[in-house]
Structure 1
Amino acid sequence: MTIVTEPAVKALLAETTSVQVRPRYEGSNICTWIGFKHVNYMVEEAVLDHFRQTALPARGLYEEHGLGLDIVGIDTRILHAFHMDDVATAEVVPFTKDADGTLGFKVTVHVERGGEILKAVTSKVRVSLRIDTYLDSAGAVPEELARFAVDRLGADLEPAPLTPFTSEETILEELLEGKNAYGWKWNIPYPYCHFTERLQMSGYLRLMEEGKDRFVADRGISIKTLLDDRRWIPVVPRSEIRILDEAMMEEDLYTTYEVEDVFKDFTYTTRMNWYVVRDGGLLKTATGTIVHGYAVIRNRRDWSLENFDQHVLDALNGTTRQP
């Protein structure tokens, strides 16, 4: 039995689809605004629904052909904030080139504000079809999807060399040496994984959000500190992640969060890298960036962007000013 047909694959690669999406209640952490992670979840849902509408749903691809649908790249710009109970329309446009080893999609999300339809989100997404090697083989990969099927995530990229380290006790120290950065070690639990064994994109998004929380707390400007002192909240106009290789359930994952750039006193960009110990070295499994700013809560409905003051700039830059 097969769900993979020539018309279905043609539609997957060529047809534009749209779907209504709504942010989950969990994503409303401060007042009724929705955080960047859950905006990316809406983008993910739009891509999954594109596969459903073209008769190639993720469940069918896995159960019938042993192909796990993995989002391996997501690059999202947020142009307008989402609120609890918003209903938006997401349009998915395929943009896979003939030489591509991953499926590409452009996602645009529109939302209504005051009778006007606004472009709220734009995103570029890359998808791999990971051949299941955990359970018994499902047989040959359908020819129509063979170029997108991989035996490990990141197989479409040039493999990066392993990073040497002195000992497992000093890995974080060595990764962070000389950098304006923060890092931590974490054992990958099953709720962050899918298809039985590997860390999925939504897991990396959760870690990206956690990285911000850990970093600012370490620098003395925790989320709650700035909320209580100033009613400042973090805002994210852009985030992107690319999976380079696989991180597996119950492996130790080393995460680094490094400030790359502070743009005037308005936004700052951080680079996040993720590593596991593999074959005697550190294997980078994913990399990404996130752009942050701050906004002040005006009331339960409204906020406005704020410029960083010197205290916040010093914390971000890792400097200490003399009194």
Structure 2
Amino acid sequence: MTREAPPVAELPDSVVKNLLETSTTSELRPGYEGANIGTIIGFKHVNYLIEQGIIEHFRAAGAPVGRLYDEHGLGFDLLELDTRLQTALLVDDIAAVEVVPHTPSDSTEFVFKVQIRVVRDDAEKKAVTSTARAVLRRDDRVTDPDPIPEELGRFVTDHIGNQVAESFDAAPAVGHATAQELSTDRGVSDDPVIARLTEGRNAFGWKWRMPYFYCHFFERVQMSGYLRQMEEVVDRFLAARGLSIKPMLDERNWIPAVTRSHVRILDETVMEEELYTVYTVESIFKDLLYTSTMDCYVLREGRLLHTATGTITHAYGVVENGREGRLVNFDDRVLRALEGSRTGTE
């Protein structure tokens, strides 16, 4: 596979000033794939809009993320998204995504405050707020990279998270099983690593081999991959607790709704590694909202490395007439399931 090389031109010094001091607003459309509840866009695709808005911010600043990689060997990586959903986004919305730089002078990560606004009843309304963090990850596959402005160098790293992630010895839980043996066991309850990670907690564990389509820059799991992981572990948790989404929808017209999501990448997960994902219910608020954590680990040389963490807050909604939505209170069955009953019944 060959392609014509783009014209080479050094990044001007103004790029850093634009990235760190100039706000941008992009008008974007949500992806149709994200319209999971009628025409309402799910939390994953809301976060995709935030990511796209930040990528547009880099383009406007004179540092397109494709050029950063092709010419300078720097991969743009979102490290963190902390997002609150205040008004539902709809599939036909034109979302005004405002990106405001908020990077401290001594930070080695880009920090942005992001708002998404939509039009409702002929007036603009704030629908989403988020705080995002990003870095530029050096990739040695790009040979002879062009230089970058010196001030941009503080945001460049050779490895994501080597000063952040914790690891701990998995041997007591693994026993005599080898890493290869563990990788062939896709079970939940009888997996020794999952058993250790969920012991004594109101938690559910899941192990899955990370596919290439969750990765970018050849092999590294990207932010969207962790968002997809968060979405799926919720689905699996609810099914394990007797609250499978399809029966709840058929019987009650109840559907999960997200009010806040937060994901932070702590270290790098590599393509085809087994990712151990633990979903733990932490709190239930007024029979209306529940907040859970997601923690992701990989097993390397007998040790578990904590590669991502996050939280997600859910409610249950009813969408009447296919359009009008409202939240509903949890009943005893749902509360028992969330509090730890595996079946949702006594």
In the alignment, structure 1 residue 144 sits paired with structure 2 residue 151: yes
Provide the residue aligned with 1:123 in structure 2. Answer: 130
* TM-score, normalising length: structure 2: 0.89
Q: Deviations over 1:123-163 (max 9, x none)?
A: 000001000034535265542211110111124x4342334
178, 200, 206: which one aligns with 1:178: 200
Identity of aligned residues (%): 50
Q: 1:129 to 1:321 in 2, by over 3 A?
A: closer
Conserved 8 A contact 2:210-2:274 = yes
Letter in 2 for 1:160: E
Q: 1:44 to 1:282 in 2, by over 3 A?
A: same
- Secondary structure of the 1:162 match is strand
CA shift, 1:223, in A, is: 0.9
Q: Deviations over 1:17-37 (max 9, x none)?
A: 000011110001121111000
> Does 142-151 or 158-167 show the bigger shift?
158-167
Give unmatched runs, 5+ long, in structure 1.
none
Conserved 8 A contact 1:32-1:83 = yes
| Alignment coverage as a number of residue pairs | 322
CA shift, 1:3, in A, is: 3.9
- Secondary structure of the 1:80 match is coil
In the alignment, structure 1 residue 254 sits paired with structure 2 residue 260: no
Conserved 8 A contact 1:89-1:111 = yes
- Secondary structure of the 1:91 match is strand
In the alignment, structure 1 residue 243 sits paired with structure 2 residue 243: no
Q: 1:54 to 1:27 in 2, by over 3 A?
A: same
Q: 1:7 to 1:177 in 2, by over 3 A?
A: same
Provide the residue aligned with 1:80 in structure 2. Answer: 87
Conserved 8 A contact 2:165-2:305 = no
158, 161, 165: which one aligns with 2:164: 158
Between the aligned partners of 2:24 and 2:241, the Cα distance in structure 1 is: 44
Between the aligned partners of 2:55 and 2:167, the Cα distance in structure 1 is: 33
Conserved 8 A contact 1:70-1:128 = yes
Between the aligned partners of 2:245 and 2:274, the Cα distance in structure 1 is: 27
CA shift, 1:44, in A, is: 0.6
Letter in 2 for 1:30: I
In the alignment, structure 1 residue 285 sits paired with structure 2 residue 307: yes
Provide the residue aligned with 1:267 in structure 2. Answer: 289
Between the aligned partners of 2:45 and 2:276, the Cα distance in structure 1 is: 24
Letter in 1 for 2:232: E
Q: 1:322 to 1:39 in 2, by over 3 A?
A: closer
- Secondary structure of the 1:125 match is strand
78, 103, 123: which one aligns with 1:71: 78
Q: How does 1:86-101 map to 2 (within 5 A)?
A: 86-101=93-108
Give unmatched runs, 5+ long, in structure 2.
1-7, 175-181, 183-190
- Secondary structure of the 2:68 match is helix
